Every structure is written in structure tokens, then in C-alpha cells.
Amino acid sequence: MGTTANKEALAILGGVPVRATLLPYGRQAVDEGDIAAVAQALRSDWLTTGPRVGEFEEAFAAAVAAKFAVSFSSGTAALHGAAFVAGLGPGDEAVTTPMTFCATANCVLYQRARPFFADVSADTLNLDPAAAEEKVTGRTKAILPVDYSGHAADLDALMDLAERHGLTVIEDASHALGGEYRGRRVGSVAHMTTFSLHPVKHVTTGEGGMVTTQRADLAETLRRFRNHGISSEARERQSAGQWQYEMVMLGMNYRLPDINCALGLSQMKRLDENLARRREIAAAYSARLAGFPGLILPTVRADVNPAWHLYAVRVDTAHLTVGRAEIFRALRAENIGVNVHYIPVHLHPYYRERFGYKGGEFPVAEAAYEQLLSLPMFPAMTDADVDDVVRAMGKVLEHYAG
């Protein structure tokens, strides 16, 4: 740790902040090539479902080593599609993690089924397969692990559990595009893997999502579900000179427009570069924050290569004179845009009121939540930005070291 910086007064106490402007925790990277690709789509015949949808899906499937990729209008819509295709319906149950964005559990509710949470493993904060198995009943149809922060869940154990109980694994890999598990790409392992293409993610389409799968039958139903349950697309009908279409099931309009797919296709070209930079930033944080008082760094299991959507540290308040909230505020005052991922889903008022959660049900997730802080992490971050984060962490943690 630096020495002079640590003697400076904290910005929250009237000192000079480490940075003059806020460094956000995440930010999109859009270049001139992306803008040209979108402009080209806007000048073409197709604004919504056109040729770029299939091209983007093919590029995406290839990137994650999946046979099929089906685009959706958001990561949430992708989850809903997967929940539908898994056959979730009234009276059914699914097991998921509380350490996620609420959309992971909400997609089960959209299907009028019931999500049950199971606690996470203390190291990765990913769904603990043993805890998940305890929640499986005769009504369980699906398991929804999340690759928290971009670190793949324990997929082999979960697939094994699913096999033994006849369940579908829907992996929410919103954080993990480009991540690897036991030498395999995230997106190629679970029955269905969902991604979000929101601006803070690895590749963005503005709003957007994707489901990948190795199974043609699942891909086919996903495509129908996103298009009102209709068995063919308008473009296919037009090229075949036909007007007939058949609605064969109840679906939604969850299509991702050609304009957005143009952006996604252009962004995909930089996925590897983007991943490499995220990994470089994570390695710099891990090397330079090691040994800071009261700081627990993220664990990476030996068989996982994370995609580093988030770099989430835990503040060990046993070694500090204040709690996470004060550390958060002090870092924000230094203009470091820290964030917290996540408030455990069962603690949100909707879940408390509907299902009677009171807190204390999932002790590992709840204890982690009290300590979590996501540090800035996005590919356009410069080395000087990383220096600022390290300097601010040192300044704040040293001040509050107990």
C-alpha cells in the first residue's frame, strides 16, 4: 500500500477525493464500427426481424460453442423463454440462488410456478449443489444457477443433480459470456444458458438477451415463444411468397430487432479483447489489493476461468471500525463508483410479503451481502483508473482499520 496517500484526509471527511470525476462500476464500449453497423441496419429493409438476427445468433452460438442461440429482447425475456421451455407451470417448483438479480427468480413466477431458494457456497457465492438438492421435491422441474460475477457455477454437480431428478438446468450466465468451466465455454454445458446484453455486460445490444442450447427441439420452442407462439417468421413467409401463419402455442413478442442485432454482431468482434482486458484488470486488483486490511478478495476455483463481469470484494468488518455502508460511502466520496451485487432476492419486500421470508433463511448469502462491494470493472478502464481504485481502497481501509 502507498504511504503518503493513506495519510490524506478522506474525501467524506472534507479531504480531496482521489478522483475529480466519478469512475462508474461498469460502462459500455461503443466504437465507430458499432455506430456504422447500426446506421447500415437503419438504412436497410429490415428494422425488426431481418438477416442480422440469424447472423448475430450464429456468431454468438459459435463464441460459446453451442449449437443454437436464440435472441430475446432482454436477459429477463430470455429467462422467461427458458422457464417456459423447461415446462414450468402452475404448481411446479424451481430451485435458484438468492444471490442474484431478481429477474432470475421472477421468470419462475411469470410461469405461475414457485421459486425456492437454496444457499450459496461461501467461496464463489454460487448456488451450492448440496443445498439445492435439499430443496428438490416431486414438484421441482428446474434449477436456475447463476454464474455470479462471471465465475461459472458448479455445473457438473448441478447437471448430475438434474439428471438424477429429471430436471432442466437453466444457467443464468448474464455475467459470464466468454467464461470457461472445466475447459468448456459457458453456454455449452447446461440444458439452456441465458445471457443479458445490457450495456454493462460483455457485449451489448442496448437491451437484449440470448438463450443457448445444444438441443434443436428446445431452440425451436424458444423461437416460437419469443414470436407469439407462431410457427414461422414474417421474413420466411415473405421470401416463400406465403401469407399463412399458424399460432400453435401462447407466446410473447420478445423479438430482438435487427437494429440491435447489428450492434451485437459488431460488438461480438471485440469479445475476446474485452475479456482479456477484464482479466487483466482482475489480475491487477488481485495482486495489488492482496493484504489490504479488512479486505477479502474474490475466490477463483481451479477449474474455472471467470469472465469477470464484476470484481466483487468483501469487507471483513471484524477488522474495521465501521460497516460496509460507511466504506461504500467513503469510496463514493473519493469518486470511486462502487456498487453492491446483490440484495438477496428473498429479502426484497415483494418476496417477503408474498412468501413470508424474514431474513436468516440463507445465512451464507445474507452474511456475504453485508460485506459485498463491486469495484469498477469495464474494458475501457485505463491503468490510471485501476491505480485510482487501489489508492482509494488503501486510503479508506487504512483509515477505518480496527
Ligand X SMILES: Cc1ncc(COP(=O)(O)O)c(C=O)c1O
Nearer to ligand X, 375 or 397 (CB): 375
DSSP symbols for 44-100: SS-SSSSHHHHHHHHHHHHHTT-SEEEEESSHHHHHHHHHHHTT--TT-EEEE-SSS
- What span, in angstroms and rounded, lies between the C-alpha atoms of 132 and 117? 8
Nearer to ligand X, 203 or 364 (CB): 203
Q: Which of 347, 60, 94 is nearest to 204 (CA)?
A: 60
User: Annotated catalytic, 201?
Assistant: yes
Least distance from ligand X to the Cβ atom of residue 251, Å: 18
Whether a cis peptide bond, with omega within 30° of 0, leads into 311 is: no
Tell which positions 202-261 bind ligand X, by CB under 6 A.
209
Q: Is 196 in the site for ligand X (CB under 6 A)?
A: yes
The H-or-E segment that residue 4 falls in is helix 4-7
Q: How far is the CB of 93 from ligand X (least distance, A)?
A: 19
Taking the least distance from each CB to ligand X, the nearer of 99 and 295 is 99
Q: Is 103 in the site for ligand X (CB under 6 A)?
A: yes
- Determine the interface stretch with ligand X among 12-20, 101-109, 300-308, 372-380 (rule: CB under 6 A): 101-109
Q: In whole angstroms, what is the distance from residue 1 CA to residue 284 CA?
A: 14
Determine which helix (DSSP H) or strand (DSSP E) holds 328, and give its type and residue range.
Answer: helix 324-333
Point out the residue whose Cβ comes nearest to ligand X: 75
Instruction: Check residue 26 for interaction with ligand X (CB under 6 A).
Output: no
Query: Applying CB under 6 A, what is the total number of residues that bind ligand X?
Result: 14
We find the least distance from the C-beta atom of residue 103 to ligand X, in angstroms, to be: 4
Binding of residue 146 to ligand X (CB under 6 A): yes
126 lies in the binding site for ligand X (CB under 6 A): no
User: Rounded CA gap, 69 and 173, in Å?
Assistant: 13
In the complex, least distance from residue 174 CB atom to ligand X, rounded to whole angstroms: 4
In the bound state with ligand X, the residue whose beta carbon lies nearer, of 205 and 333, is: 205
Please say which residue, 204 or 388, places its beta carbon nearer to ligand X: 204
| Binding of ligand X by 172 (CB under 6 A) | yes
198 counts as binding ligand X under rule CB under 6 A: yes
- 307 φψ region: left (φ > 0), alpha (ψ -120 to 50), beta (else): alpha
Is position 104 an interface residue for ligand X (rule: CB under 6 A)?
Answer: yes
Nearer to ligand X, 19 or 80 (CB): 80
What b/e string do you get for 57-80 counting C-beta neighbours within 10 Å, with b at 16 or more? Answer: bebbbebbebebbbbbbbbbbbbb
Of 97, 100, 126, 267, the one binding ligand X by CB under 6 A: 100
Q: Distance (Å, rounded) from C-alpha 293 to C-alpha 399?
A: 10
**Which is catalytic among the residues 7, 135, 141, 201?**
201
Site for ligand X in 175-194 (CB under 6 A): 175
| Closest C-alpha to 102, from 355, 367, 315 | 355
**Parallel, antiparallel, or unpaired for β 140-144 and 168-172?**
parallel
The yes or no reply on residue 174 touching ligand X (CB under 6 A) is yes
Here the cell at position 192 is 439452456
Angstrom CA distances, 282 to 113, 149, 310, 391, stand at 38, 11, 9, 16
Site string for ligand X, 45-84 (x = CB under 6 A): -----------------------------xxx--------
Q: What is the DSSP letter of 11?
A: G
Residue 119 or 334 having the CB closest to ligand X: 119
Q: Tell me if 94 contacts ligand X by CB under 6 A.
A: no
| Stretch near ligand X under the rule CB under 6 A, chosen from 82-90, 100-108, 131-139, 251-259 | 100-108
Would you name the residues annotated as active-site residues? Answer: 201
Query: Which residues contribute to the site for ligand X (CB under 6 A)?
Result: 74-76, 100-101, 103-104, 146, 172, 174-175, 196, 198, 209
